[in-house]
Structure 1
């Protein structure tokens, strides 16, 4: 079996990929990468030149960026059923990459206190924060899951973004977001992922 290695830190976006890994149900090896010098070391930059986590190595294939990792794992392990059939992936790709692009940018800017001037909204991909929130509500309200009637890798990513945004108050607390988040995180794999990352975080704090 091709080895699957997960490079992460439990206080990072690696939590998204941990959840995805638990959903696919395949064995993997975890390497915790501390922030600071270890994450910026030549050894780790050979995996991810950005010096950031998460990353995965699957045999000779290295993938970085959470959304890309989620898509890759869904395709690499099709028996997990985490991607729709190829001819039905419109909503799957649409909302996964909406969350990776406009949603990530809008919420990060909001957290940093940056607001796009009204006369400059055409220059930035997400336009306005309000438009992003309305679009996100539309995405999670149309069907039980963002790609339709069943859970996919897109829900791992979108659900993680909503969960983090609500926790950090960079996403508005709307009933549609809370209902969707409860639906997608009420899964054994999500619970296992939280438990593993919380245990790893405690171990790092004790070290």
Structure 2
């Protein structure tokens, strides 16, 4: 006896399983890449700590340009640190600037004119004493920082992340002096004094 079996309307695609597996693998890879990117741009993470020469700086200090992440934006800060090892207090200087956001202003290097001209550059860490570590965050939109002028709240976030960045970096690298976490001092001029007061109210000492 011969039995004939007819298969009509059936289709088999041996590639379906491999395609589905490929898509799952691609999704997992994309998810991992996003996770890596998020971790790489973590708030308060140092991107670079570059030694710089600063005119009229204290001969007992070393000066640095620090780039760090703040809310996904590269932000610049200048740091003056004692040449000698040890643990030192951290002094944060909050500079003045624009009080309201302006997405048309980026990489601002000066404000004012004549005798009131103010520079946003490495000269901000001139003549600081050697008995402390001093940091001056530029904030987004100023100097070599990314982003645009973003107002008080974002500048306050940049200040907080600068404190986190320099403290973590100095306390985990042997060639740098340590920062005494129990001694944090903030000061500022103009709008910067308002930022300084806000940080004190949030208990960052």
TM > 0.5 between the two? no
Q: Which has the larger radius of gyration?
A: 2
Higher strand fraction (1 or 2): 2
TM-score (norm 2): 0.24
TM-score (norm 1): 0.24
